[in-house]
């Protein structure tokens, strides 16, 4: 599986490098526009990164299912479970890398904002200084940002697995049906409807948990740990969803795929 993960990154490293270099150049340009430019970058860059992330992950799987490169991949002595699992793990690693990169951008731009305000900064305590800046200006700290970004990543991974499953069903069970793109979209909508229904039932069951969390959060500002507690059930559902759909896709790739 390690070789499959390496293969995923070898295919995309040039594109990813170009995107990151472009982001860095854009950040440096916006820094010349002052604090406003720095704030604009911090707001827009995660949106751009995650749109690129989704497009990149989904396009690569689509190419594997519909192009000759994919035919060669599925002819290797690797099971469908191993192939789809390696793609999911590669997506998770890439997502963590993007979270880390954005975190570094926060530190760089936070440091710039502090210096622009005429304040001195101890470069050995940059994280603490930026954390204090966020706490004083926006009411949340780096811990909140990290928890939110990880929750967003869990959502994106779960979303990707629904797309993977819809595409795999289209290419296996319904491979002979015309209007494949439209049919894949309909399958995608049905999968999400079923998942939403099941999730709503689960959240009804854990309502007492949220009542307890509300009691904790009503006592004052929610800490990063408190935010993690609030998001924990949602993240757990997303993880279960991702694992389940990956298993379904792996089975279809192993038994039903029609290239």
Enumerate the H helices of 67-206 as residue ranges.
68-74, 80-116, 126-137, 142-172, 180-205
Of 99 and 258, the structure prediction assigns the larger pLDDT to 99
Condensed to tens digits (0 to 9), the pLDDT of residues 123-141 reads 556 677 777 766 656 666 7
Q: Which of 88, 86, 96 is nearest to 3 (CA)?
A: 86
138 three-class SS: coil
143 three-class SS: helix
Q: What pLDDT score does 146 carry?
A: 84
Condensed to tens digits (0 to 9), the pLDDT of residues 8-22 reads 888 888 888 888 899
Q: What pLDDT score does 161 carry?
A: 92
Question: Model pTM?
Answer: 0.80
């Amino acid at each position: 599986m390690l070789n499959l993960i390496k293969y995923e990154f070898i295919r995309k490293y040039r594109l990813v490098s170009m995107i990151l270099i472009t982001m860095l150049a854009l950040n440096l340009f916006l820094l010349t526009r002052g604090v406003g430019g720095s704030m604009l970058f911090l707001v827009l860059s995660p949106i751009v990164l995650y749109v690129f992330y989704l497009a990149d992950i989904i396009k690569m799987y689509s190419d594997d299912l519909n192009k000759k490169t994919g035919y060669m991949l599925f002819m290797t002595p690797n099971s469908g479970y191993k192939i789809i699992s390696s793609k999911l793990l590669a997506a998770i690693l890439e997502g963590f890398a993007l979270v880390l990169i954005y975190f570094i951008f926060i530190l760089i731009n936070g440091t710039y904002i502090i210096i622009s305000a005429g304040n001195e900064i101890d470069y050995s305590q940059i994280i603490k200084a930026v954390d204090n800046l966020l706490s004083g200006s926006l009411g949340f700290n780096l811990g909140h940002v990290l928890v939110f970004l990880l929750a967003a990543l869990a959502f994106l991974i779960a979303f990707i697995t629904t797309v993977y499953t819809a595409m795999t069903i289209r290419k296996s069970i319904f491979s002979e049906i015309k209007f494949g793109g439209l049919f894949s979209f309909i399958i995608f909508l049905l999968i999400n409807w079923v998942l939403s229904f099941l999730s709503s039932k689960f959240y009804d069951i854990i309502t007492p948990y949220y009542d307890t969390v509300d009691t904790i959060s009503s006592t004052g500002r929610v800490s990063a740990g408190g935010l993690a507690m609030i998001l924990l059930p949602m993240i757990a559902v997303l993880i279960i969803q991702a694992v389940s759909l990956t298993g379904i896709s792996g089975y279809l790739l192993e038994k039903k795929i029609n290239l």
